[in-house]
Amino acid sequence: MAETAAKPKARWRRRRRIRKHLSGDGERPRLAVFRSARHIYAQIINDVRGETLVAASSLTPEIRSKLGETQGKRAVAEEVGRLLARRAKEKGISTVAFDRGGYLYHGRVKALADAVREGGLDF
């Protein structure tokens, strides 16, 4: 029981440690990732102005209609990354700072990051 309580605390510690050094601005906004048990969310944020420039998630109607409930979570994360990269390119964003949100760079987070890179964003 103590181990399950320690996991979220460890993630929040890692997240604070990352965010101490990482911030998004107009020239290089921050690509933030949130991963829940069922869904994945990603947004590109300008921290100076405090606004979200682009967002995509597994709940986006484009992705839900395309993949439905039959695909695995990693495939959905890849599609979220492709959609986010496409939307960012439309807004003229080419470079971002990747904020993994304290999650390990593995699995769905890595799949999303690789798809964003394939979509043409640099980080």
Q: 6 in a domain, yes or no?
A: yes
Check which CATH number belongs to the domain holding 76 and give it. Answer: 3.30.420.100
| Residue whose token pair is 């495939």 | 75
- On whether the pTM is more than 0.85, the answer is yes
Looking at the domain assignment, is residue 99 inside a domain? yes
Between the alpha carbon of residue 6 and those of residues 34, 54, 59, the distances in Å are 18, 32, 28
Distance of CA 101 to CAs 17, 95, 97, 109, Å? 10, 18, 12, 10
Answer yes or no: is 79 within a domain. Answer: yes
- As a whole number, mean pLDDT of residues 91-117 equals 95
Its domain, for residue 40, covers: 2-118
**pLDDT, position 80:** 96
Tens-digit pLDDT profile for residues 31-76 = 999 999 999 999 999 999 999 999 999 999 988 888 766 678 999 9
Structurally, the chain folds into a number of domains equal to 1
In terms of Cα–Cα distance, which of 49, 48, 19, 14 is closest to 32?
19
Mean predicted confidence (pLDDT) in 81-105: 95
Q: Under DSSP, is residue 120 helix (H, G, I), strand (E, B) or coil?
A: coil
In a domain, 123, yes or no: no
- pLDDT for 3: 66
